[in-house]
Structure 1
Amino acid sequence: MIKLMIWISALFISQCFATPTKLTVVSEEWLGYTNANGTGTYCDIVKAVYGQDYQLELITTTWSRALNLVETGRADILVGGYHSTNHKLVFPQYHLDTEYPLYVIYDDKAHNITQIEDLAGLTVAGRKDYGLAKFLPQSSYFYGLDLIDDSAKFIEKNRVDAVLTYKVNLALADPETRYTHQVIGKEARLYLAFSRTALGHKLKEHYDRNIKQLVKLKQLQQYFPNPQEYLHADFDKIVSEN
């Protein structure tokens, strides 16, 4: 009996000190949001949601590779995805952030662009795998890029008429601000996305439960650069809807 009690106690202690399940979290590097060193707004939110229950490995890579890693089950969480009909991924109910509207970069000496319809018949560059082509008129030609960095150079070389990107990437796309930046399109919600596995569904439920609690406790604002960015994320709607 004593040996049995010792064995049960040892088993209990070993479970208490067992290494937490390791999660691989992947994203593209967005300065200030998903930095290569594992810091930034979105990294901090992921840590706040999962850090107490899981061991986290945060990796930045190209968007295409990050997406593929989660789709194929070689990584567990994709940071900064757009809710889509991608059947290889699982999306939570609640968002991670609210992205600013799309911007178009163009030469105002060659074109007058004020709305998405003005891109009809034009060649427009943008990050491939971001789903940007779906915003364009049917007569537009989408020129997919692996990187948005200095993509305005394609306008100068007359390879494209315009570049489509989000506000956060404007400085990367046109670092010298040589061209006109025109807001175009609508805001979009950013999400975490998970592998379509039993663990992925579990992580989705974990996120929805914990992010709601963090909003209620007003613990998310500290991770944003300023109060305005937090308000724009529109997290309070999570509480008001419930």
Structure 2
Amino acid sequence: MRHIARLFWILLLVCLSPLALGERLRLVSDDWAPYVYQHDGQPRGIDYEVTNQVFARLGVEVEWQFLPWKRCLVMIEQGLADGILDIFQTESRQPYLIYAQEPMSEVEFVLFQASARRHAVTQLQDLAGLTVGTSPGYAYGDTFNGATYFTREAAPTHEANFGKLVLGRIDLAITDRRVGRYLLHQLGMQRQVEELPLVISRQTQYLGLVRKPGREELAAAFAEELRRFKQEPAYAAISNHYTGDIGNILNAVEQQESSTAR
């Protein structure tokens, strides 16, 4: 039955999608390590590699472009790219974006603070009067985005936010837990910046495709093949290649936290 289902989706893609005629799919994203990012000018990341593998199985060629997230969103809304990787589902994007309904990954937004300037934050209301570094175009959840009792200050990159944090120009920074830990390791800032336990929101990331003829079929075929790929050793190998490093980072962070706990 598995082989029959796979054959069905491939035949559907070939018959209905204009991509089958040799069109190259242009995907955009920003640097969001370890999910998708550039290293020495070359694309990398868990979700990047998985996406390439799935599209290769569907016979679809992919071209990648890395841009600031807010610009990625504008390009998608204006139809200047074919798709976007690791985007959250929102009602406002439904008119122009189709989601492949199998998730790529999940993120957990948390706060980071300078070790030299700690804040007692155990709930969102504790942010009153503080300034939190954000990234343009990011959706951190309705409660966080709509709160009026603290200041949100956007920076062009996650690195810039951590730099401002260390310099005391902002009180806290928000990003995905895994992204933050990965970045602190890369920047050598594990002793200068620490993570707070409060989870602001949890979100699921998807591949989004611009609404065009054949794209709904392509999104369905991608989701079906992604579900299948997740059951294979190749998927685990890709994940372990990146999360192995993250595991070492997490151990180092936990040791540091235990040694500096109040």
The secondary structure found in structure 1 opposite 2:102 is coil
Q: Which residue of 206, 213, 227 corresponds with 1:191?
A: 206
Query: In structure 1, what is the equivalent of residue 228 of structure 2?
Result: 213
Distance 1:158-1:34 versus aligned 2 partners, 3 A rule: closer
Q: Which runs of 5+ in 2 are unaligned?
A: 1-19, 245-262
Amino acid at match of 2:103: H
Q: What's the Cα RMSD here?
A: 2.7
1:96 touches 1:192 (CA, 8 Å); kept in 2? yes
Q: Which residue of 85, 88, 99 corresponds with 1:91?
A: 99
The secondary structure found in structure 2 opposite 1:74 is coil
Deviations 1:209-228 (CA, angstroms, capped at 9, x unpaired): 21122234454212213597
Count of residue correspondences = 211
The secondary structure found in structure 2 opposite 1:128 is coil
Q: In structure 2, what is the Cα distance between the partners aligned to 1:54 and 1:32?
A: 24
Q: In structure 1, what is the Cα distance between the partners aligned to 2:65 and 2:138?
A: 19
The secondary structure found in structure 2 opposite 1:220 is helix
Query: In structure 1, what is the equivalent of residue 156 of structure 2?
Result: 146
1:125 pairs with 2:140: no
Query: In structure 2, what is the equivalent of residue 179 of structure 1?
Result: 193
1:79 pairs with 2:85: yes
Query: In structure 1, what is the equivalent of residue 9 of structure 2?
Result: none
1:48 pairs with 2:53: yes
Which structure exhibits the higher relative contact order, with contacts defined as CA atoms closer than 8 Å and separated by 6 or more residues?
A: 2
Rg larger for = 1
Q: In structure 1, what is the Cα distance between the partners aligned to 2:230 and 2:189?
A: 38
More helix by share: 2
Deviations 1:61-100 (CA, angstroms, capped at 9, x unpaired): 221222222222221121111122223322222100122x
Q: In structure 2, what is the Cα distance between the partners aligned to 1:75 and 1:122?
A: 37
Q: In structure 2, what is the Cα distance between the partners aligned to 1:134 and 1:123?
A: 18
Distance 1:184-1:27 versus aligned 2 partners, 3 A rule: same
Distance 1:117-1:62 versus aligned 2 partners, 3 A rule: same
Q: How does 1:104-115 map to 2 (within 5 A)?
A: 104-107=111-114, 109=117, 111-115=119-123
Distance 1:145-1:203 versus aligned 2 partners, 3 A rule: farther
1:39 pairs with 2:49: no
The worse-fitting range, judged by mean Cα deviation, of 72-81 and 145-154 is 145-154
The secondary structure found in structure 2 opposite 1:168 is helix
| Shift of residue 145, structure 1, vs aligned partner | 2.0
Q: In structure 1, what is the Cα distance between the partners aligned to 2:170 and 2:208?
A: 32
Q: Which residue of 21, 24, 27 corresponds with 2:23?
A: 21
1:225 pairs with 2:231: no
Distance 1:133-1:175 versus aligned 2 partners, 3 A rule: farther
Amino acid at match of 2:153: Y
TM-score (norm 1): 0.75
1:25 touches 1:78 (CA, 8 Å); kept in 2? yes
The secondary structure found in structure 1 opposite 2:161 is coil
2:110 touches 2:176 (CA, 8 Å); kept in 1? yes
| Shift of residue 153, structure 1, vs aligned partner | 3.4
